[in-house]
Amino acid sequence: MFRAILLFTALISSAYALVHGVDSSQLVSVATYKKARSEGFTKAVIRGYQEACGSGGRVDPNFVQTYKNARAAGITDIDMYWFPCCGSGNSCKSFAKQLTEIGNTFKTHSMKIGTIWIDIEKDSVCNNWNYGTAGNLAKAKKLIAAAKASGFKFGIYSSPGEWGNIFGSTSVVLDSSAPLWFATWNGAQSLTMGTKFGGWTSAAGHQYTDVSASGLFDLNVFAH
């Protein structure tokens, strides 16, 4: 009986264990990653693809080097996020083409990436997601279809505010079967969703602040 209780306790503890991670949109040095790792951040999420709406989207020029720096610092749990080029006023590459460029980068540089997080948020510079709420949902469905067809493991990054703004309501469902990484800068290092959106009832990751000592990171917790 005592052994069974210990086993149950271990399972409960494992289920609630969280991985602390940093995400970045800039070039990050080996030293900065080493410092983050020494503070308990063992996961890195790197911007791998940016809107670059003037050129239809591009692999982030800092992606490969930042990835190499993270690995050199001893971080092996690495994801990337894809800020897709879209918007009616932009000559964006197809979502399939954007994903092909991502995949080619993985292959060329022998990169081991866990999840591609699709960043769904508004950007006033590129004026993306400007198709109207119904049009935005239709475009987002094409985005998800391309991600599924690519064969990559993917999830969705967004926030309640961005979701409601883009799709007209937080209750609009795009693909609630995909893992969710949500942003709510409330400082709470937990996966609890204060405001549920998109049909998700639980999350795989939470970006809880955009403030870090280096100024290069947002801070997160992820499910183990």
213 closest CA partner among 60, 10, 19, 28:
28
**pLDDT number for residue 4:** 35
Choice among 79, 119, 162, 175 that is catalytic: 119
Residue in this structure with the two tokens 């690495």, named with its chain if needed: 78
Domain parsing of the chain, residue ranges = 19-222
Choice among 77, 101, 121, 123 that is catalytic: 121
Residue 218 known to be catalytic: no
What confidence tens digit (pLDDT) does each residue in 111-140 have?
999 999 999 999 999 999 999 999 999 999
Local mean pLDDT, 10-residue blocks, the chain (224 residues)? 34 62 98 97 98 97 98 98 97 98 98 98 96 98 98 98 98 98 97 97 97 92 94
Is the whole-model pTM more than 0.85? yes
Residue 77 known to be catalytic: no
**pLDDT number for residue 45:** 98
Contacts of 126 (CB under 8 A, 6+ apart): 51, 53, 85, 87, 90
Residue 60 known to be catalytic: no
**pLDDT number for residue 197:** 98
d(CA 55, CA 63): 17
Reported CATH class of domain 19-222: alpha beta
d(CA 27, CA 62): 5
61 closest CA partner among 122, 113, 105, 17:
105
**pLDDT number for residue 168:** 98
**pLDDT number for residue 213:** 83
d(CA 206, CA 223): 9
